[in-house]
Amino acid sequence: MWTVLSCPLPETLRNVRYQLQTRLTWAGFGSVQPHLWIAPGRVDVEAMLQDLLTGEARHLAQAFHGTPTAPSDAGELVHRTWDLTALRAAHDAFLDRWEHAEPPPGDALPQLLLLIDDWGRLLRSDPGLPAAYLDYDWPAARSAQTLSRLRGRLGPTAEKEIDQLLHPDSG
């Protein structure tokens, strides 16, 4: 399932167009061609854009959910729409920093905060593309496993550190 959005905004709505592009990128959309965006999965476009697309702009937007059909090829759309080299590099950078990390015991809270910050940056660049259209060794699963492992290891100790910071006289 894919979400398709066509939204040709005129030059008079340049500010809205800029905000639209920013929101769509953050929501995992990629631009197939000018004014035509796709995202994997079923995105609630109305909820995402209701405060942005008002007045005349609202009537310019057309959204659909569906699957590609011939002559379209979903795999080719993915490779043409998203910079998979840059996306892989973002995952590789995350893994380079965290996959084999063994943070020292007294550093759980700052390490957890850095991990979550890095993960959030990665999520903003990764639209969650279907694995069927990616290389067999796509690193997203390893990134998620790394996050889960470290969050499980750092989380309980970080909570104790937060508790000690908030209540220094209780322990």
Residue range 112-139, pLDDT digits in tens: 999 999 999 999 899 999 999 999 999 9
- CA pair distance 109, 98, nearest whole angstrom: 15
* Residue environment code for 53-66, b if the CB has 16+ CB neighbours within 10 A, otherwise e: beeebeebbebeee
Outline where DSSP puts E strands in the chain. Answer: 2-6, 30-33, 36-40, 62-66
For 81-109, write each residue's pLDDT tens digit: 999 999 999 999 999 999 998 877 678 99
pLDDT at 92: 98
> Is the confidence at residue 151, as pLDDT, over 70?
yes
What mean pLDDT comes out for the span 26-33?
92
pLDDT at 55: 78
Which pairs with CB-CB distance under 8 Å and at least 24 residues apart come from 64-72? Answer: 64/3, 64/4, 64/5, 65/1, 65/2, 65/3, 65/4, 66/1, 66/2, 66/4, 67/1, 67/2, 68/2
- Judge whether 5 and 29 are in contact, CB under 8 Å: yes
Q: Would you give the DSSP letter of residue 94?
A: H
What mean pLDDT comes out for the span 57-85?
91
3 state SS of 95: helix
pLDDT at 171: 58
